[in-house]
Structures are given as C-alpha cells and as structure tokens.
Amino acid sequence: MSSIELTCDNFESEVLRSSIPVLIDFWAPWCGPCKMIGPVIDEIANEYSGRVKVGKINVDENGSLAEQHGIASIPTLIVYKDGQMQAQKNGACPKHDIENLFKNLI
C-alpha cells in the first residue's frame, strides 16, 4: 500500500478515526530534505501496510492543516494513534528513526 494524500477534507476520517497508527509527512515539492526522505516514507508505507497508515500533507496545498499542527519547518513527521498526536520529529532523518516514532504503537 502506498501513502495517501491527506487534505482538510479527509483528515478526520483518515487520521482521527483510524483504527491503526498514522504516520503523517508534512512536505512540499520544492523542499530538498522532503525529496530525500520521500522514498523512505514510501518504503515504510509498503513495509507496514495494514499496521500503520502513511499519509502525506502538502503544506502548500493544505496550509490550514500545517498551521493547526504548528508546522514551522519541513519535513515534519507526526504520528497519531486513537485520534491523538503521539510523536513528532522535524527534519530529514534515517529510516530507523522514523520507525522508532511508531514501533511501540503497533
């Protein structure tokens, strides 16, 4: 399963009501570090399919979601479980650091 595009319209149903943890990648197409971790985020979406939902929020197209989450720099990764924010990490980081954000939640 690949990542899903999250928007203001589907955030509640895809994230807040999700029965499994959700890893959210706040990104933008012009962001170099975002491009760097993009393939890693896609790998995680495939490897953890059915156990973790992976969504991406383009901050240029969904500024209100970025604002609601206090996103000051990208990439920013946030993990939700049971409708609550559980973890956050700013900046590009290795795959194992990203996995550590949600491994204890699955």
Give the residue numbers marked as catalytic: 31, 34
Evaluated on CA atoms 59, 29, 80, 37, the torsion sign reads negative
CA distance 4 to 83: 17
CA distance 82 to 18: 7
CB-based contact 89:100 (threshold 8 Å): no
